[in-house]
Every structure is written in C-alpha cells, then in structure tokens.
Amino acid sequence: MKIYKVSNYHEMSKKAASILAAQIVADPKSTLGLATGSTPIGTYEFLCKWYQEGILDFSQIKTMNLDEYKGIKRENSQSYYHFMKEHLFDHVNIKEENTHIPDGECEDANTICREYEKLIQKGNGVDLQLLGIGRNGHIGFNEPAETFARECHCVTLAQSTIEANKRFFEKAEDVPRQAYTMGIGTIMKAEKILLLASGEDKAEALYQTICGPVTPKVPASILQFHKNVIVIADEAALSKVK
C-alpha cells in the first residue's frame, strides 16, 4: 500500500483527480471503477474542470460504478445514477452507453448481480478502481460480515450505514434498506485501487484498514492483500496511523 497524507479534503481531491487523469491520458480506453458519496465529489470537480480546459478526453473511457440502492428509480435524486450524472457524466464527453451502474429498479437480485459481474469482467476488467470508505470499514456496500463476498450481490445495509447516509435523504426511513454492490472479490480484481478518506470520522476505519488484521469484519482491510493500492487521506483521517 502506498499511503499519501495530505492536509485536507481539497488536497486529497486534487491528488486523486491527478491519478485518475494520468490513467485517462496514459490509456484513453481505460475502464474506471467509480464511487459515489461525499468523498469523491471534489475529485470529480477537478476532472470536470480539466475536461473543460481541454486537458482530458473521456470519449473512449468506460466506467463501472461500485453500487446502487435497490428499489430506487433512476430519476430519484438520491439514486447513484443521478449522482453520477450530476457530479461527472453530464459535464464531460463520456458516452452514456459506456457508463454502467447496477440497475436499482430491477427486483431480480440474482439476475442483475450475475449480469453486472459478467459485464465488469468482460474485456480487461477495471483498470483503476476509486473507493471511499464507510465509518464501519465498508467498501462499496460490502458491510462488515463473517466472510468476504466474492462477486456482485445484494446487501442489507448496516444500521450505521443507514444512519450515515440519511443526511442525503429527507428522513432516515427514506434510506433504502438494500443495495446492489460489487463484491470484495470484484473489487480486488481491479488492476489498481485508489482509496480516499477525509475527516476524523474515518480515522478508526482507516487505522483498522491499514494496521489491523485482515478480516471481513473490516471489509477494507482486504486491500492489504492487493498488489497496487494507493491511499490518499487527509491528516484527520490518518490521525490514528502513526
């Protein structure tokens, strides 16, 4: 694991965007694995800006998102489909058919997850996977569990995740209880992984991820076994890692 400590969210976002930009320039046909949530918003802002300045070209880029709430319509402003359009896709020249997010409206969990896994592994898989981290150590929506999930699957969100994500909804009851997510095995197949963390509320999860034992109780800890992981985190998020 390569760990970069930066001073704040802005610096984390700039460095993360630089690494994504380098990937896009080096291989304009890259497949990027993307995340949602508060963490990558600043990173996407830099990418949009650099596209508008003519530095980046997304015309051949493919994207595979980590996850989507189950039972949510695409038009719903809380869907990850909506998030990606708002923060990235609508502002760059990516082709809509090259962007992929699990279909949260599909009720048939087995079919959708099988198909999504197949789609990811088609071609060369994910070249660079962007990740945020949950306060409980989740990546994608892989919540703390007894085992690591291999492939895309349907999860029931942990109560702490519902609590953390209710800030995006009018009330906690509106947060969907289930989601479709890449599995830990899916994430680990990515060629390179870029994990971002900002803020003190991520400090314990990040400490366990970097310094703790590899255990499905801290899903991100599996990243210790990946050959090419870059962590970019601010001082607050790294405050427990000495």
Q: Which candidate in 68, 117, 127, 143 is catalytic?
A: 143
Residue 115 among the catalytic residues? no
Q: Which candidate in 87, 117, 127, 136 is catalytic?
A: 136
Contact mark string toward ligand F6R, 78..107, x via CB under 6 A: ------------------------------
Site for ligand F6R in 133-162 (CB under 6 A): 133-134, 138-141
What's the closest the beta carbon of residue 133 comes to ligand F6R, in angstroms?
6
What's the closest the beta carbon of residue 126 comes to ligand F6R, in angstroms?
14
The answer to whether the CB of 21 falls within 8 A of the CB of 130 is: no
Residue 136 among the catalytic residues? yes
Contacts 24+ apart (CB under 8 A), 46-53: 46/13, 46/14, 46/17, 46/18, 46/21, 47/17, 47/20, 47/21, 47/88, 47/92, 48/87, 48/88, 48/91, 48/92, 50/17, 50/21, 51/91, 51/92, 51/93, 52/91
234 binds ligand F6R, rule: CB under 6 A = no
Site for ligand F6R in 206-225 (CB under 6 A): none
Residue 87 among the catalytic residues? no
Q: Which of 12, 24, 32, 66 binds ligand F6R (CB under 6 A)?
A: 66
Residue 143 among the catalytic residues? yes
The answer to whether the CB of 139 falls within 8 A of the CB of 216 is: no
What's the closest the beta carbon of residue 40 comes to ligand F6R, in angstroms?
7
| Choice between 38 and 239, CB closer to ligand F6R | 38
Q: How far is CA 230 from CA 80, 203, 210, in A?
A: 24, 17, 11
Task: Report the C-alpha gap between 189 and 128 in whole angstroms.
Answer: 10
Is residue 240 helix, strand or coil? coil
State the number of binding residues for ligand F6R (CB under 6 A): 14
Site for ligand F6R in 33-52 (CB under 6 A): 35-39
What's the closest the beta carbon of residue 67 comes to ligand F6R, in angstroms?
5
By CB atoms closer than 10 A (0-12, 13-18, 19+), residue 19 is: middle
Task: Report the C-alpha gap between 191 and 229 in whole angstroms.
Answer: 9
Q: In the complex, which residues of this chain contact ligand F6R (CB under 6 A)?
A: 35-39, 66-67, 132-134, 138-141
Residues labelled as active-site residues: 67, 136, 138, 143
